Structure 1
Amino acid sequence: MEKINEVIEILINKGLISNDCLTLKTLKSGTTNGVLFTLSINKKPTFVIKIDNPAIITATNDFLSAYRDVKLLPDVLYTDGNKEFIVYSYISGETHVNRGSKLAWMEVLIKELFNTYQRVDKDMPWGRVNGLHRKYWSEFNESSLAFAQKSIEDKLPIHDHIRVGMLVKKLSAHYTQEEKYYLHGDTGVHNFIFLNNKINGVIDPSPLIGPKIYDFTYAFCSSPDSLTMNTLLSSFALWNSDSSFSKERLVDEVLFQLYTRIGVCIQVHPHDLDDYLKAWQEWRKYL
């Protein structure tokens, strides 16, 4: 608690908050060294304080600053000069639950976040801002493929693993001329805030330089419900993208994202695995 007390004192001394009726609540751990707090004023949650290593704080601040006009994202109140902590607005609601329809929240994400994404210089490396930088996006996909194969193992037939490997090679041909975008990088239901069965905010960026389609398919596959062709195509109709982006390419991107999501699901949220495997049985026919 010593560090958070220092943070509160800094905010008070800078005149950003008053010392009256302040309460703190620990939200969750961030990275290994990170922690989140809600700061309530007069019992009303008002700010989130994120204490983490400087690389994480810098990436969070830079992303939220770049997209400061996006209403779904929190507003930055203050970032420590040494990048040891950041303070941003609290967004009311809950993650995961009471989401409403996938089509409804995908529509909001597309119109209010994905369609605002900014292109970056072609010389910037692909990949996580705080991770391994890649010369080609296909290298990022190959790494995701290797992780998923190891995680899934015999939960899918060997032929499915082989065919997904072939799919990754097929997709690599599209990335030679692909434009690079500055993405949130972790657009899943675990980072969406829902209020009254509607999406109310998006938190915890893990900034990524990648193709714009990545965050779209990540969001679509981030929950096992409504993984249908109708939901996909209805959502994609709202997408501001190159008109040459074919249905075949879209389906291929979703197939790979769904495959990697199954791998993550086994490690992080195994209670969803049966539903994902059922969805896979429907999608695998497009392999």
Structure 2
Amino acid sequence: MQIEEIFVELRQRGIIDHRIDDWIPLSGGTLSTVYALRENQQPKLIVKMNDPLTVRLESEYLKFYKSIPLFAQMIQVHENYEYFVYTYQTGEATYPRKHKKAMLHRLVTQLINHTKEDPSAEGYGYQDKPSPTWQDFLLLRYGWAQETLERVLSAEDHKFVEQLIRNTPESGRKYLLHGDCGVHNFIFEQEQVTGVIDPIPTIGEPLYDLIYAFCSSPDSLEPETIEHAVKSMDGGLYHLSTLYADVLIGLYFRMATCIVHHPQDLEEYLQAWNIWKMKVEKE
């Protein structure tokens, strides 16, 4: 559907009234087509279009976590999942690269501690293409990362990460995770995270989202930064004994993404890689 058709349909169904008088396209990292519906040139609602499976999974995620203030509120989803509508979140989409420890603490207390198990979940990892086990999901991510990092890390490093993954439990609890919980999907006001957008619904352990956030920017990657956040997690949501290995795996994945999207950050990530690898080897 075109935005003109959607606009008329929303009017006819009473989802929007005459005060919403125009729309503008939004750009960003998402693969969806996104528009802001505006009132007096101020964004009020978001219309997001993608393939039906993606629309269904994202809209169901927002419904599942409708009580979490960091997320937008679902307004409407098309019956054939051609689009969905949710509230606009004010703020800046640029991470200030400050106060990472406080940001992670807020993320834990406002989001991760409210993560719930999904009793209907099938498999692990990305909901649109679930893997049989959690280990299979990590190995899937490893395959792409290994190819991308082939000339960056040594063969010994690649084998080390693969072995860490093969030492992880094959299965576990099935929590519904954000799946792309990085600073590129955070909204900030006064240098504080106030919103989280664009989930890639994923089934796994809550620590995955925290490690993803920690590794999503190259600043403040010292162990004490994430250790402080982990201490704020509700008991039972993490396994402290495997934290360092899990972080090294997450850092490995993030460095591969960095090469594709932010190659200028690679040197900082490599410095952190050496620190974390030493910690894991000492364990």
- SS of corresponding position for 2:218: coil
Match of 2:79 in 1: 81
Which sits farther off after the overlay, 13-22 or 36-45?
Answer: 13-22
Rounded Cα–Cα distance in structure 2 between residues aligned with 1:78 and 1:229: 42
Query: Are the equivalent residues in 1 in contact too, given 2:95–2:186 (CA < 8 A)?
Result: no
Distance 2:95 2:28 in 1: 20
Give the secondary structure class of the aligned counterpart of 2:95.
coil
1:177-216 mapped onto 2 (5 Å cutoff): 178-216=172-210
Equivalent positions of 1:224-239 (< 5 A) are 224-239=218-233
Higher deviation after alignment, 250-259 or 266-275:
266-275
Cα distance in structure 2, aligned partners of 1:279 and 1:119: 32
Counterpart Cα distance in 2 of 1:12 and 1:51: 18
1:267 aligns to 2:260 (yes or no)? yes
1:240 paired to 2:234: yes
1:107 to 105, 108, 111: 105
Q: Does the 8 Å contact 1:185/1:205 carry over to 2?
A: yes
Q: CA deviation at 1:116?
A: 0.9
Which residue of the other structure, out of 145, 150, 153, is the alignment partner of 1:153? 150
Superposed displacement of residue 158, structure 1:
2.1
For 1:249 and 1:29, the matched residues in 2 are separated by 34
User: Contact conserved, 1:98 with 1:195, CA < 8 A, in 2?
Assistant: no
CA distance in 1 between partners of 2:237 and 2:70 (Å)? 26
- After superposition, what is the alpha-carbon deviation per residue over 1:43-92, rounded to whole angstroms, capped at 9, x for unaligned? 22111110111111101110000000000000011111111111111111
Distance of 1:227 and 1:150 partners within structure 2: 24
Which amino acid counterpart does residue 248 of structure 2 have in structure 1?
L
Match of 2:242 in 1: 249
Is 1:284 matched with 2:277? yes
Normalized against structure 2, the TM-score is what?
0.93
What is the identity, as a one-letter code, of the residue corresponding to 1:27? L
Q: Kindly report structure 1 stretches of 4+ aligned residues shifted beyond 4 Å.
A: 29-32
Q: What CA RMSD, in Å, does the superposition of the two structures yield over aligned residues? A: 1.9
Which segment drifts farther, 74-83 or 153-162? 153-162
Deviation at 1:262, TM superposition (A): 0.5
**Which residue identity is paired with 2:164?**
L
Q: Identity of paired residues, percent?
A: 32
Q: TM-score, normalised by structure 1?
A: 0.92
Unpaired runs of at least 5, structure 2: none
Structure 2 equivalent of residue 168 of structure 1: 165
Q: 1:25 to 1:267 in 2, by over 3 A?
A: same
For residues 36 and 243 of structure 1, do their structure 2 counterparts lie closer, same or farther at Cα, with a shift above 3 Å needed?
A: closer
Cα drift, residue 175 of structure 1: 3.9
Cα distance in structure 2, aligned partners of 1:254 and 1:141: 13
Give the structure 2 partner of residue 44 of structure 1: 42
Using the TM superposition, give the Cα deviation of residue 123 of structure 1 relative to its aligned residue in structure 2, in angstroms: 6.9
Q: Flag the 1:99–1:243 CA change in 2: closer, same or farther, 3 A.
A: closer
Given that residues 24 and 35 in structure 2 are in contact (C-alpha distance below 8 angstroms), is that contact kept between their aligned partners in structure 1? Answer: yes
Provide the C-alpha distance between the structure 2 equivalents of 1:40 and 1:278, rounded to a whole number of angstroms. 45
Q: Is the 2:49–2:83 Cα contact (8 Å) retained in structure 1?
A: yes
